[in-house]
């Protein structure tokens, strides 16, 4: 009996100690001040071209420019549109052609109007010593509307001097976007 009484008193003391501990008042009005800032990383476009891509398949004649277009469907989302604060684009190339190229990346509106243009050079490389190039473009709040208004990304590779006797190699391209959002 003595043990029961002791267990009961000990339990009551323990529970009252737990419930009477220091508790800071919670202000539920502060919930509006909470903001989440998630970052989303997306692979945009990747490709590998060699000398055969610079020949027109119908005529067999050389082409000096290659072009590809992708739709940026995720930018259609209302939450993305309203919450996008900045974007960092990373473009990476590995060139084994013994000639340089230039790259033009255009971001177009739904109606095809240019919103943003990024241009840079890709130095020559070789098969034994590939040239790696990385270009980073940061778009912050002062220019973020250019990205919000973009629904297409057009990638152009130019500058090829195609001499079919002395033109070989590969060019790898990878692009990523780091999208910063504020909810």
What is the model's pLDDT at position 169?
93
- Which of these, 52, 42, 62, 37, lies nearest to 153 by C-alpha position? 42
What is the model's pLDDT at position 32?
58
| Other CB atoms within 10 A of residue 109 CB | 14
What is the model's pLDDT at position 56?
86
What is the model's pLDDT at position 166?
75
- Quote the Cα angle for 109-136-148, to 5°: 25
In this structure, the dihedral spanned by the alpha carbons of residues 93, 96, 100 and 102, taken in order and rounded to 10 degrees, is -30
- Which of these, 159, 154, 164, 157, lies nearest to 93 by C-alpha position? 157
What is the model's pLDDT at position 105?
97
What is the model's pLDDT at position 24?
55
Q: Is 168 helix (H, G, I), strand (E, B) or coil?
A: coil
In this structure, the dihedral spanned by the alpha carbons of residues 57, 59, 60 and 64, taken in order and rounded to 10 degrees, is -80
Task: Tokens for 157, please give them.
Answer: 């590779």
- Beta strands, E only, the chain: 39-50, 65-71, 84-95, 101-108, 114-122, 131-139, 152-158, 170-181
Q: How would you write the pLDDT of the chain (183 residues) with one tens digit per residue?
A: 554 555 555 555 555 555 555 555 555 565 555 555 678 899 999 999 999 898 888 988 888 899 999 999 988 888 888 899 999 999 999 999 999 999 999 999 999 999 999 999 999 999 999 999 999 999 999 999 999 999 999 999 998 777 666 788 999 999 999 999 987
Break the chain into its structural domains and give their ranges.
Answer: 37-181
Write the class of the CATH domain 37-181. mainly beta
């Amino acid at each position: 009996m003595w043990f029961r009484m002791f267990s009961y008193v000990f339990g009551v003391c323990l529970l009252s100690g737990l419930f009477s501990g220091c508790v800071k008042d919670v202000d539920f009005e502060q919930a509006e001040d909470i903001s989440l800032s998630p970052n989303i990383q997306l692979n945009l476009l990747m490709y590998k071209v060699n000398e055969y891509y610079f020949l027109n398949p119908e005529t067999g004649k050389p082409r000096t420019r290659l072009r590809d277009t992708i739709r940026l469907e995720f930018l259609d989302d209302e939450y993305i549109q309203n919450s996008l604060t900045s974007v960092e684009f990373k473009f990476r190339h590995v060139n084994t052609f013994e000639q340089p190229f230039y790259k033009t990346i255009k971001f177009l509106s739904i109606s095809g109007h240019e919103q943003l243009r990024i241009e840079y050079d890709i130095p020559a490389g070789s098969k034994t010593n590939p040239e790696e190039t990385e270009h980073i473009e940061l778009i912050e709040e002062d220019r973020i509307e250019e990205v919000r208004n973009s629904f297409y990304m057009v990638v152009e590779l130019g500058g090829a001097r195609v001499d079919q006797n002395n033109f070989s190699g590969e060019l790898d391209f990878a692009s990523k976007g780091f999208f910063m959002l504020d909810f």
